[in-house]
Structure 1
Amino acid sequence: MTARPGPRMRANRAGASGYAAGLSLVVLALTGAVGLALKQPWLFPSLGPTVMLFFESPENEASRPKNALVGHAVGLVAGAACFYALGLSGQPSAPDGGLTVSYVVAGTLSVAITTLVLTLLKTPHPPAGATTLIVSLGILTQPPQLLAMAGAIVLVTLAGWALNTLLLGRER
């Protein structure tokens, strides 16, 4: 199948902007609705840049579904590993209790690990850096929250891939 030009490559800037904004709205609203129904945090900050990549730059390597899934998975694991290894469980999150040396170490180390692994695997996905900070800074750390984050990442990625494939005729 021949891929049609992505929205960035189209001459009509308003059409490309509407495509990206509209589909970002749809996918994040769907994710938020699932979160409301399950009473779990299915809408969190790093999903915004992910959907923006999917719909603003679908041709970009970082926009590939594999990159999003691997990137956020590595971010979740690295963030949780640093959070728990530094004994931050039971402490108020960095935004609530203030930034401490332990949170600085957890945050910086987890992003460095995420960057290292994604670079070695050749699967760039910059929003994964936000995912690792959300976890390593204690914002979302409980197992049900981490599972909700993983579910939301899968939903957003599948919806983004499906919509781009359906509307742009591309498979990645």
Structure 2
Amino acid sequence: MRRWLYTFAGGGLAMVIAGAVAALTHQPWLFPSLGPAVMLHVEKPDAPESSPRNTVIGHAVALLTGYGFLLLCGLADNRSVLQEGVGVARIVAAAGSLAITATVLLFLRASHPPAGATTLIVSLGLLHTPTQLVIAMAGVLLVTVVDWLFNRATGRPMPVWSAPAQLRQEAHRG
């Protein structure tokens, strides 16, 4: 199968499944930063940043950090940035959550760039309740499993949990 066909089929399949679950449950199983995560999974399934380990740790750290900054900045009960605009507290929440997420993931050797979008989605108030965050994490797990199964079924290498040590070391040096 050609690379573009893998990308089309795998990406579409993961989004359709997450979207169907979201439609059936009326919950945020489908949110913007799943797109780049899925793209990594289907375009570069053997890259460290695409591994299930980095995906799960990355989004978990992002969700927790984004919510922590919502609380720290007194924004947990506010409307989203789209409704109330940008103020100093929102800038602090966005900048702080992104900086902390990136730094923690660096220390954990769990780089996953889509997590940067996830932490902003939370710190900007687009997802802001604990229930929404748990469901978002379930969406991450769902698309990761779907992509892993898709890659395995089509003979593409995606690790069960983490990339081989050599690839992780090379990615960390970069």
In the superposition, the TM-score normalised over structure 2's length comes to 0.88
Please state if 1:108 is matched with 2:95. yes
- Displacement, 1:135? 0.4
Structure 2 counterpart of 1:61, from 48, 67, 88: 48
Structure 2 counterpart of 1:26, from 13, 35, 38: 13
- Displacement, 1:92? 1.7
- Displacement, 1:147? 1.4
The one-letter code of the counterpart of 1:112 is A
- Displacement, 1:166? 2.0
4+ long deviations beyond 6 Å = none
Q: Give, in whole Å, the separation in 1 of the partners of 2:15 and 2:37.
A: 10
| Residue correspondences, number | 159
Structure 2 counterpart of 1:84, from 68, 71, 79: 71
Unaligned runs of 5+ in 2: 160-174
User: Contact (CA 8 Å) 2:29, 2:136: kept in 1 or not?
Assistant: yes
The one-letter code of the counterpart of 2:27 is Q
Q: Which region of structure 1 is more displaced relative to structure 2, 27-36 or 142-151?
A: 142-151
User: Contact (CA 8 Å) 2:33, 2:117: kept in 1 or not?
Assistant: yes
**Percent same amino acid at aligned positions?**
41
- Structure 2 CA distance for partners of 1:133 and 1:31, relative to 1, 3 Å: same
Q: Give, in whole Å, the separation in 2 of the partners of 1:158 and 1:119.
A: 24
Q: Secondary structure at the match of 2:30?
A: coil
Unaligned runs of 5+ in 1: 1-11
Q: Give, in whole Å, the separation in 1 of the partners of 2:53 and 2:81.
A: 31
- Structure 2 CA distance for partners of 1:89 and 1:171, relative to 1, 3 Å: closer
Q: Give, in whole Å, the separation in 1 of the partners of 2:83 and 2:126.
A: 9
Q: Give, in whole Å, the separation in 2 of the partners of 1:53 and 1:140.
A: 23
Structure 2 counterpart of 1:137, from 124, 127, 139: 124
Q: Secondary structure at the match of 1:92?
A: coil
Q: Give, in whole Å, the separation in 1 of the partners of 2:85 and 2:141.
A: 31
Q: Give, in whole Å, the separation in 1 of the partners of 2:77 and 2:106.
A: 32
